[in-house]
Structure 1
Amino acid sequence: MQYVEVEKKYAVADVEALKTRLRRLGGKPGEPTHQVDQYFNAPHRDFLAPDAISEWFRVRTDERGSSINYKRWLPVDAITKTHADEFESMVDDVEAVRRMLQMLDFLPLVTVDKTREEWTMPTVEVAFDQVLHAGDFVEFEFKGDADSVEEATARLDEFIAGLNVELGERIDRGYPHMLIGREH
């Protein structure tokens, strides 16, 4: 399932309880990174026009480098999305990319400033995010082998349920949604 993302996000209730459980399951934390994600709107298609936003284009910078990312959440017309087509690539010169986007009339939408701590598990990546002006969250992304989105989702749900830790409210929207005040 290359280029397909299956993830679930929660407003984290007790960060330390969850980290303790992940450690007991053999999880390994990475070093926290400061990420600045700038989201853009396309000149040929308004990503904000539909009732439920289904597309984002992002430029990220952090201590490890810079990347560009396009994500299309599916099902496109559904309010609640189940997965996303995701295409991401590292870039050597992020300023050149920003200037290209400006010349092509891509308009900046919102900037998400966050600190992320990623934990590696056998089939799931767990990311703790402290998002400026939005709060604290945890994302679980399936990283194992699966034959379908349904299988990946079931295995992710099984992992989350097996944690036996109170996670908080499930969040079905991205950080850009939150910062621009969109529910969907």
Structure 2
Amino acid sequence: MLEIELKVRVDDLAAVRERLCEQQAELESRVMERDLYLNAPHRDFGVTDEALRIRQAGERWTVTYKGKKEPGFHLKAREELNCRVESGDVMARIFISLGFTPVAEVRKWREYYHFKDATVCLDQVEGLGEFVEIELNNPGNVERPAEYVMALGEEIGVTGKPILSSYLEILLAKGQGTEE
């Protein structure tokens, strides 16, 4: 599935939350997410612009592969494949046994909202600050998906400069990866 995402750093999540309520966005959940990122033994995901993540969100575990960012979008667009697993800890041990190495762990409090054809996430990311992500759920249903996502951002007061880096990339740039 192709994911199209707008990510913006914000100063006041409460103001965005208020705008979402005014626009009748539906709060789906509030959860602490813990994301373990791994690098492959046969290629460097930092060089190839890919990611392998094991996410714990409450009692739910998901393994995600994120492909290279797609050219031609002024927002982040990339293939994303998700698979629920019974135990992320066991999954991590399997990957590590196969030669994958932990790169970093990203922790965030996230609120998920359903707004029109998108998911809006209000994120408080440990060590990084507050962000809003707007992800288009079905980009094939929209004629110009990047412009549509930007317009949704404007409707809820999210108008800052789009961030194309992932939380992992921002964290690593700050020198907060996993010590080896």
- Aligned pair count reads 174
Distance in 1 (alpha carbons) for counterparts of 2:136 and 2:158: 20
CA contact 2:51–2:66 (8 Å) conserved in 1: yes
Counterpart for residue 177 of structure 2:
none
CA contact 1:127–1:138 (8 Å) conserved in 2: yes
State the Cα distance separating 1:62 from its structure 2 match: 1.8
CA contact 1:122–1:144 (8 Å) conserved in 2: no
Code of the aligned partner of 1:67:
T
SS at the partner of 2:55? strand
What is the TM-score of this pair, normalised by structure 2? 0.86
Counterpart for residue 60 of structure 1:
55
Counterpart for residue 141 of structure 1:
135
State the Cα distance separating 1:109 from its structure 2 match: 0.3
Distance in 1 (alpha carbons) for counterparts of 2:55 and 2:147: 30
Q: 1:31-77: per-residue Cα shift (whole Å, max 9, x none)? A: 32111100000001111235xxx20000011214101000013237x
Aligned sequence identity (%):
27
Question: Does 2:98 correspond to 1:104?
Answer: yes
CA contact 1:40–1:110 (8 Å) conserved in 2: yes
RMSD (Å), alpha carbons: 2.3
Q: 1:153 aligns with which of 134, 138, 146?
A: 146
Structure 1 unaligned segments of length 5 or more: list them.
none
Q: 1:29 to 1:20 in 2, by over 3 A?
A: same
SS at the partner of 1:20? helix
Per mean C-alpha deviation after superposition, the further-off stretch among 38-47 and 14-23 is 14-23
State the Cα distance separating 1:136 from its structure 2 match: 0.7
Q: 1:180 to 1:57 in 2, by over 3 A?
A: same
Distance in 2 (alpha carbons) for counterparts of 1:166 and 1:72: 26
SS at the partner of 1:170? coil
Q: 1:47 aligns with which of 45, 48, 51?
A: 45
Distance in 2 (alpha carbons) for counterparts of 1:64 and 1:33: 10
Question: Does 2:168 correspond to 1:179?
Answer: no
CA contact 2:39–2:52 (8 Å) conserved in 1: yes
